[in-house]
Structure 1
Amino acid sequence: MAGVRIHTGAPRFSLTANGDRQGGTAHWQLNLNTIQASGAGAFVNLPSAYGKGQLQFKYEPNGPVWVGDARIQIPTLALDGNGMAGKLNTLTLSTRFQQQRGDAPAVDAQMRFSNGQFHHKNSGLHLSGGRLDIPFRSDPKATGSDGTFSVVRVVHNQQSLGKIQGRVTQKKDALAFTATHVSDLFPGLTAALTGTVFTSGFRFRDADITFQIPPYELPAASDLARFVPAAKGLTLSGTVSAQGKAAISRKGLDGFLDVEMTGGALTMAEKKITVEGIDTTLRFPELPRIRSGPAQQIRFARAAMGGIVVDGGTFDVQVESETTLFVEKGRLFWCGGKVDAQALRITAGKQDYNVSLYCQRLGLSRILEQLGSMNARGTGTVNGRIPIVYSNGNIRFDDGFLFSTPGEAGRIQLTGTEILTRGIPAGTAQFAQVELAQEALKDYAYTWAKLGLVSEGEDFVMRLQFDGKPANPLPFVYKKEIGSFVRVEAGAQGSVFQGIGLDVNLRLPLNQLLQYKDIVNMIQ
């Protein structure tokens, strides 16, 4: 064979024969050792091989009849090359043929092996405990039993996936097979496999495999740490399905995989983080390379992180490799408006990221309620940009600003604002000023509003600036002697403010507002 080199030790061959004019019989035996073959980037090694057989012939009125059989046993066969490695134990090849009256010989053959192994280096796929029993016939239309095969264990990147059992049917220049994969990862999960191994005579040409996983509901709160150790504490539920195809040839392995999830939910109970209503289809068109197609859309219906609630959103992503995820763009529906995120490449081991969130028509009262730990109602929307910096496990708001929509006035009603006076000594001028702002914000009509978001040390500082007036008189009067407003007794007449500008800082511990660190660490 062109391009194939074979090296072997000295063979030992014996032949005995006897017969007469009516016919005869011949018996043969063959012993080989240290058999090595190479070609097309592959290397095959057989430490030894043993064969024996016989040939009988006799003359009949209609012509000679030939009958023979042969059996070859190979204790071990190893294959390495083209990114693949394999090993077969106890390989047996047997055949029986008959020819008469000048017809084409009728051949029946059998190939068997046990404890086979296969490893594809680039994909991390490993098969072990393989068994095969396949019949071959010179006439594929001849009736007979199908072959069988099984794989005790399928492993991908040291994770046991399950086992495979199937049957093989001989076709013209091909072997067709069907099989079932039973998962070790999820109880009751099975995958249907079909495929064809194309042959040229008794030589392998190429093969294709198609597989499908029907919709399967994941067990409640499946622990993702079983698959990604960094995802400790994160659970997943929902319905998943998959389909794909792989082709094996002299060039190696290639194929595609489509994975779909509907009604998915991610939960980190300890951190009170949930993402619900996850729907996505991810296509990986370059197997065994772990790289998805571009613009793979992930949708979700709701997300909550502590007191922050997002009313759904979408992300366009691409899995660039096993260690890199490229977020092409994202859109969140938050506080009645939209938040768009710029492109971001997330790489395992990287500890520094910058992303800007562009906000459109967010409900001001809803922002204050979620971020400010207070009760809020009202009208009016804000727009702007919130830069966020993640560095070495810490998150910071980097001078973000939201402005009221130009030409659009609004009204805000805040209660539960005791946090504004926290840490300010009672009876001081500063306390009185903040207390006045508290009363004004209980029902305040504004012509414009501005919201600043910034991090200071471990705190999240929200600066509220308004221009407008309280809707009702405030229980405060001005005292010239102290140069400040003071609260009046209940029932006493207060003051009517025709216009008042408010500038209030709200300071909160950032880790109380947004528990984020473990989420980011999961991709590291």
Structure 2
Amino acid sequence: MEYDLLLRDGADRELRAVGHARASVEQGEWSASAGCDVNGSVREFVLPQCVLQGEARGNGKQVALQWSLHGKPGALMPGDATIDFGPYRAQGELRGELGGSIAGPIDVRLETVRVRAGDAEGACAALSLSGTVRIAPEIGAELVLQGRNLSVKGKGFRVAGGKLSLPVRFPLETGEWGRLKVARIRAVGRELGSLDLRVRQNRDALDVQGAYLGELLPGLKASVTGRVEPFGSDLVRMRADVDSYELPGGFDLGRLAPQLQGVTGDGILMAWVGFGYGVCGTSAQGEIYLTGGNLHDTENDVHVSGMRLSLYMPDLLTLRSAPLQSVAFDRLDFRGMRFDNGEVLFQAEERGAVVVETVTFDWLGGNIQSMPFRVVPGRDEYDLTLYCSNLRITELLEQLGFADARGEGRVSGRIPVSIRNGVVQFKAAQLQSSPDVGGNLRVRQAENLLAGVPASSPQYVQLRIASEALKDFEYRWAKVTASSNGEMLKVQLQLDGKPAGNLPFQYSRDFGFAEVSAEAEGMNFQGIRLDVNFNLPFDRMLRLRRVFGNNN
């Protein structure tokens, strides 16, 4: 018998079958066979032409059925997604007793599957479903879904080299654990590592547990949990957690960022990363904490200890962070200078820009703080102001290389800073003591002020008085100014006060000031205004090319 059947239910459901069938009965045994070409569409499912064949036989209550299906490439279009698949074939067998159990093996093979939805695309080179199905006394199945060369790519990420083995049950219930391995994960232009997961059917969803094996950091392992809901608005939700990872000593941070090549560090990391994909697109978030960190940049003579980092990024795909993220340190040594208890509050923006909301640290017994500024990749010109509070004037003079000083007294003020091509220069920095708050200054080797000044010059005696006064000077007011001039730093020290004791000088109208021996009584200066100018080589200035320079 030949037939041509057309089944139609509304405008979006149509199925047509054209084929032949035969049946026979002989001595209590019966047999039947059929074959047909089938095509049509059911809502979003477009079924190209496929060939269905079957052969059944029976004897009394015993029945057996063998069937096969071969199809051409087709497509599904559920919602905004598109699912394309290649040639497929399926075959199976059912055996049993009428009124009892009827079951048998099934094997389905699909060569290629490609899913596109929004900005993401997934693919599988080969997909299979095999196991046992049951049609009586109730419908059920115990199958294993397998796939190889699984891959997913989207905005800013790519997952490749996946392999899946998943037990599936029907009716939908909790199944046995299967396995999913992913060989490569790539995001933000970097190879990030691999996945080794257990997967399990949980009714109409999948539970995921396992581990992420990091590639950027040696020995890094993160626990992974997640859920896949094929029929939910959130198709995929995954999370990876690192409870405590100790970065090995001497680790080259250039593996994480090329501009840090040659910088080494260590510390303890805690972090989590979340990933999601659904009807609203792709999302990724993460948070990282660093404690006990140390950093060493031998080339630039930078050493940092006691580092702490707190960084939350609500959008990892664009590397954008939340405001007021923090990186802090206990101590930073830079070319002979020491800074303590520092903290930088910042926000990372898209395309590598960073808003530095404030910088604060302790220096010379006082505190330094900055106003907000923005660091942009490729930009090499910046202007900012540092506000200084209660710096010890003696330590400031030592830091500037002027003198080995002792005593008391503090200065405050502002330091305008200009950064050009990674070189830091001062622009009319001014620091001075508080009104009516004096101090004491004792400069050892103050006679260095006379270096290069001839004894016969008019300035010699004045500098000689200044050098003797600075050996023990009680000031009522102090001021330090500094500015860059080419390759030199010009510094001026202004003091208003008096020497703590008599100075070895005498004065006459005819000859002016003249020095006397140490045994002489000398003179008691009731008030002196000292203005001392000196220049420092520019190589003592800060050079921060790695931070503010053009890294292109």
TM-score scaled by length of structure 1? 0.89
The corresponding residue for 2:20 is none
Q: Secondary structure at the match of 2:320?
A: coil
AA aligned to 1:135 is P
The corresponding residue for 1:50 is 88
The corresponding residue for 2:317 is 288
Greater RCO (CA < 8 Å, at least 6 residues apart): 1
Q: What is the distance in 2 between the residues matched to 1:36 and 1:435?
A: 96
Q: What is the distance in 1 between the residues matched to 2:491 and 2:469?
A: 18
The corresponding residue for 2:144 is 110
| Gap runs ≥5 in structure 2 | 1-11, 14-41
**In 1, are the aligned partners of 2:262 and 2:297 still within 8 Å (CA)?**
yes
**In 2, are the aligned partners of 1:231 and 1:522 still within 8 Å (CA)?**
no
**In 2, are the aligned partners of 1:380 and 1:404 still within 8 Å (CA)?**
yes
Q: Aligned-pair distance for 1:190?
A: 0.8
Q: Aligned-pair distance for 1:6?
A: 5.5
Size of the aligned set, in residue pairs, is 511
Provide closer, same or farther for how the CA distance between residues 375 and 70 of structure 1 changes in structure 2, counting only shifts above 3 A. same
| Residues 155-166 of structure 1 mapped to structure 2, 5 A cutoff | 155-166=186-197
Q: Aligned-pair distance for 1:280?
A: 2.5
Q: What is the distance in 2 between the residues matched to 1:516 and 1:426?
A: 42
Q: Choose which of 71, 76, 83 in structure 2 pairs with 1:31.
A: 71
Deviation string 1:446-484 (CA, Å, 9 cap, x unpaired) is: 11011112111121121100111122333445587776x
The corresponding residue for 1:120 is 154
Q: Aligned-pair distance for 1:489?
A: 6.0
Q: Secondary structure at the match of 2:314?
A: strand
**In 2, are the aligned partners of 1:53 and 1:68 still within 8 Å (CA)?**
no
**In 2, are the aligned partners of 1:332 and 1:339 still within 8 Å (CA)?**
yes
Q: Aligned-pair distance for 1:357?
A: 1.1
Q: Aligned-pair distance for 1:424?
A: 4.4
Q: Secondary structure at the match of 2:546?
A: helix
Q: What is the distance in 2 between the residues matched to 1:498 and 1:204?
A: 85
**In 1, are the aligned partners of 2:446 and 2:470 still within 8 Å (CA)?**
no
**In 1, are the aligned partners of 2:421 and 2:545 still within 8 Å (CA)?**
no
Asked if residue 136 in structure 1 is aligned to residue 168 in structure 2, the reply is yes
AA aligned to 2:124 is L
Q: Choose which of 441, 452, 458 in structure 1 pairs with 2:487.
A: 458
Provide closer, same or farther for how the CA distance between residues 470 and 171 of structure 1 changes in structure 2, counting only shifts above 3 A. same
Q: What is the distance in 2 between the residues matched to 1:54 and 1:519?
A: 66
Q: What is the distance in 1 between the residues matched to 2:506 and 2:75?
A: 103
Q: Secondary structure at the match of 1:368?
A: helix
Provide closer, same or farther for how the CA distance between residues 157 and 297 of structure 1 changes in structure 2, counting only shifts above 3 A. closer
**In 2, are the aligned partners of 1:4 and 1:40 still within 8 Å (CA)?**
no
Asked if residue 279 in structure 1 is aligned to residue 308 in structure 2, the reply is yes
**In 2, are the aligned partners of 1:155 and 1:162 still within 8 Å (CA)?**
yes
* More off after superposition, 460-469 vs 208-217: 208-217
Q: Aligned-pair distance for 1:154?
A: 2.0
CA RMSD of aligned residues (A): 2.8
Q: What is the distance in 1 between the residues matched to 2:444 and 2:476?
A: 20
The corresponding residue for 1:254 is 283
| Residues 42-441 of structure 1 mapped to structure 2, 5 A cutoff | 42-46=81-85, 48-56=86-94, 58-60=96-98, 63=99, 65-101=101-137, 103=138, 105-121=139-155, 124-139=156-171, 145-200=176-231, 206-417=235-446, 420-422=449-451, 424-425=453-454, 427-441=456-470
Q: Secondary structure at the match of 1:372?
A: coil
Q: Secondary structure at the match of 2:395?
A: helix
**In 1, are the aligned partners of 2:90 and 2:109 still within 8 Å (CA)?**
no
Q: Secondary structure at the match of 1:473?
A: coil
Q: Secondary structure at the match of 2:459?
A: helix
**In 1, are the aligned partners of 2:275 and 2:283 still within 8 Å (CA)?**
yes
Q: Aligned-pair distance for 1:50?
A: 2.0
**In 1, are the aligned partners of 2:410 and 2:433 still within 8 Å (CA)?**
yes
Q: Aligned-pair distance for 1:290?
A: 1.8
Q: What is the distance in 2 between the residues matched to 1:291 and 1:487?
A: 69
Provide closer, same or farther for how the CA distance between residues 342 and 214 of structure 1 changes in structure 2, counting only shifts above 3 A. same
Q: What is the distance in 2 between the residues matched to 1:173 and 1:257?
A: 28
**In 2, are the aligned partners of 1:347 and 1:523 still within 8 Å (CA)?**
no
**In 1, are the aligned partners of 2:178 and 2:200 still within 8 Å (CA)?**
yes
Q: What is the distance in 2 between the residues matched to 1:417 and 1:110?
A: 88
Q: What is the distance in 1 between the residues matched to 2:222 and 2:298?
A: 31
Provide closer, same or farther for how the CA distance between residues 241 and 470 of structure 1 changes in structure 2, counting only shifts above 3 A. same
Q: Secondary structure at the match of 2:400?
A: helix
Provide closer, same or farther for how the CA distance between residues 58 and 151 of structure 1 changes in structure 2, counting only shifts above 3 A. closer
Q: Aligned-pair distance for 1:69?
A: 4.2
Q: Aligned-pair distance for 1:278?
A: 1.5
AA aligned to 2:380 is Q
* More off after superposition, 388-397 vs 67-76: 67-76
AA aligned to 1:25 is L
Q: Aligned-pair distance for 1:390?
A: 0.9
Q: Aligned-pair distance for 1:182?
A: 1.9
Q: Secondary structure at the match of 2:142?
A: strand
Provide closer, same or farther for how the CA distance between residues 218 and 399 of structure 1 changes in structure 2, counting only shifts above 3 A. same
The corresponding residue for 2:18 is none
Asked if residue 503 in structure 1 is aligned to residue 521 in structure 2, the reply is no
**In 1, are the aligned partners of 2:88 and 2:108 still within 8 Å (CA)?**
yes
Provide closer, same or farther for how the CA distance between residues 57 and 389 of structure 1 changes in structure 2, counting only shifts above 3 A. same
Q: Aligned-pair distance for 1:270?
A: 2.0
Q: What is the distance in 1 between the residues matched to 2:292 and 2:169?
A: 50
Deviation string 1:356-395 (CA, Å, 9 cap, x unpaired) is: 1112222111211112353121111111111111122322
AA aligned to 1:397 is F
AA aligned to 1:357 is L
AA aligned to 2:165 is D
**In 1, are the aligned partners of 2:125 and 2:148 still within 8 Å (CA)?**
yes
Q: Secondary structure at the match of 1:206?
A: strand
Q: Aligned-pair distance for 1:248?
A: 2.1
**In 2, are the aligned partners of 1:384 and 1:402 still within 8 Å (CA)?**
yes
**In 2, are the aligned partners of 1:262 and 1:280 still within 8 Å (CA)?**
yes
Deviation string 1:461-510 (CA, Å, 9 cap, x unpaired) is: 21100111122333445587776x56556656654322211111121123
Q: What is the distance in 1 between the residues matched to 2:420 and 2:508?
A: 49
Q: What is the distance in 2 between the residues matched to 1:233 and 1:425?
A: 49
AA aligned to 2:54 is T
The corresponding residue for 1:446 is 475
Q: Aligned-pair distance for 1:178?
A: 0.8
Q: What is the distance in 2 between the residues matched to 1:288 and 1:491?
A: 79
Q: Aligned-pair distance for 1:445?
A: 0.7
**In 2, are the aligned partners of 1:58 and 1:66 still within 8 Å (CA)?**
yes
**In 1, are the aligned partners of 2:176 and 2:201 still within 8 Å (CA)?**
no
- Report which of the two structures shows the higher radius of gyration computed on alpha carbons: 2
Q: Choose which of 5, 15, 29 in structure 1 pairs with 2:53.
A: 15
**In 2, are the aligned partners of 1:371 and 1:513 still within 8 Å (CA)?**
no
Q: Secondary structure at the match of 2:525?
A: coil
Q: Aligned-pair distance for 1:177?
A: 1.5
Q: What is the distance in 2 between the residues matched to 1:81 and 1:274?
A: 49
AA aligned to 2:160 is S
Q: Aligned-pair distance for 1:204?
A: 8.9
